A and B are shown apart, each in its own frame.
Chain A
Amino acid sequence: AQSVTQLDSHVSVSEGTPVLLRCNYSSSYSPSLFWYVQHPNKGLQLLLKYTSAATLVKGINGFEAEFKKSETSFHLTKPSAHMSDAAEYFCVVSDRGGTKLVFGAGTILRVKS
């Protein structure tokens, strides 16, 4: 079965410094991978998706993720954090049929001024 592991439950950065949120996946087939963000008391917003095209995926709000098959990783990065980036981030893998999403436990990003 497919699964994702988010390696940090909390990450704290200063405004203007880089962001790195780490995610490893496990899948017996070529996966579809996603990053979602959830602001407090809000639904989930899609940041970016990987579906076996380019390994470097660009998303909204300056976020990027790189699919590395050899490392089974899909880490999320942003060159410069903004206060508005403070939220919870979920790494997600889709099942082969595309009918089910499997979520990681989430990483809470704190941005200090």
Chain B
Amino acid sequence: KAGVTQTPRYLIKTRGQQVTLSCSPISGHRSVSWYQQTPGQGLQFLFEYFSETQRNKGNFPGRFSGRQFSNSRSEMNVSTLELGDSALYLCASSGGTANGYTFGSGTRLTVV
């Protein structure tokens, strides 16, 4: 069974640019969530989608957005990149809380 796949693995962007990250969940999982990991703030929740609907959103500015497609694949977009957006972005998928959440390997974003 394939795991959660995130692409790309590494990205280098310039301040002011925008970026799109992709996540393919485990087959059959309809919930996809995104987290930002930084040394200073740790792991913080960005948003969660289920059946193409955003059910929950973390405390991030509107520059951070996401969406989910009918095949459960998800993308997140960050516009007008800032240096502080440099982080490891992790995607997780779930078939239900009782089953836990499976994480991908992440996308390492560096903003210069």
Contact = CB atoms under 8 A, between A and B. Distances in A.
Interface of A: 32, 34, 36, 42-46, 49, 51, 90, 94-95, 97-103, 105-106
B110 interface: no
A32 B96 CA distance: 12
8 contacts: A32-B98, A43-B103, A43-B104, A43-B106, A51-B98, A90-B43, A99-B55, A103-B35
B101 to A, nearest CB: 6
The secondary structure that dominates the B interface is strand
B62 interface: no
Given A95-B56, A103-B42, A106-B42, A43 B105 contact: yes
Interface of B: 4, 31, 33, 35, 42-45, 48, 50, 55-56, 58, 90, 92, 94, 96-98, 100-106
A90 B37 CA distance: 12
Nearest to B90: A43
Contacts of B101: 34, 46, 101
A101 B59 CA distance: 13
Nearest to A46: B100
B98 to A, nearest CB: 5
Contacts of A49: 98, 100
A80 to B, nearest CB: 25
A44 B90 contact: yes
A90 B33 CA distance: 17
A51 B97 CA distance: 8
B48 A103 contact: no
B100 A34 contact: yes
A103 B44 CA distance: 7
Given A43-B103, A99-B31, A94 B97 contact: yes
Contacts of A51: 97-98
B42 A105 contact: yes
Given A34-B100, A44-B103, A101 B90 contact: no
